[in-house]
Amino acid sequence: MVEETIFAAFREIGRDLFLRGLVSSHGGNMSVRTPQGICITRTRCMLGRITRNDVVEADAVGPGPNDSLASSELIVHRAIYRSTGAGAVLHAHPPHATLLSMVRDALVPIDPEGCSLLQKVSIVSVDRTVAAGSPESTGAVSEALRAYGIVMLKKHGSFARGDTLEDAYMLTSCLEASSFYLYRLQGL
């Protein structure tokens, strides 16, 4: 059974992601590291309306009995936890950041908050026929997150790490705001 404080964080951050337009109705996923392994959102759950059944306990290294219930990007989350000291991982599809990732190699904010929190956001690229939860994308994303708190997977979305889901959400929200400013001022 998932702890109440963990479930509350999933529910609040999931709702905020959806209301802010950082995920579609069934897009994105998030996880937290626990002493027992990982708590991660279920595949295809609605982050804006998370229920207790939408949070799955998984082994940190896998494979495990709940892998088929967990997000299809569970292997990416596991790799990030192995590569970094993250306590939480958040994957979203911020629209302006995703759009800019289609034509840029990095996102360098021009607004004060983005400059302070993000400095530069790396955009990692894998073969466009490769799924986001593939071994190729797993390696590229987890490697980039060693140096950065948030990265973009080209044409797909962001992966952020933090001590908590709130930390990862702050980076994701800041990335989208900075990307909006870049798009409006500089275009593609």
- Over residues 59-84, the pLDDT tens digits come to 998 899 999 999 999 999 999 999 99
* pLDDT (average), residues 153-171: 97
Residue 17 vs residues 68, 88, 91, 149, 151: alpha-carbon distances, Å:
24, 15, 10, 18, 17
Q: Is 117 helix (H, G, I), strand (E, B) or coil?
A: helix
pLDDT for position 128: 64
Domains contained in the chain, number: 1
* pLDDT (average), residues 14-39: 97
* pLDDT tens-digit series, residues 42-59: 999 999 999 999 999 999
Confidence of residue 34 (pLDDT cuts 50, 70, 90): very high
Phi, psi of 170 (to 5 degrees): -60, -45
* pLDDT tens-digit series, residues 125-152: 876 655 566 677 788 899 999 999 999 9
Write the CATH number for 99.
3.40.225.10
pLDDT, averaged across the chain: 94
Domain that residue 69 falls in:
4-186
Q: Is the pTM of this model over 0.85?
A: yes
Antiparallel, parallel or unpaired: β 121-124 and 55-58: unpaired
As a whole-number percent, the residues of the chain with pLDDT over 70 amount to: 95
pLDDT for position 112: 97
Longest dimension (CA), the chain: 49
* pLDDT (average), residues 95-122: 96
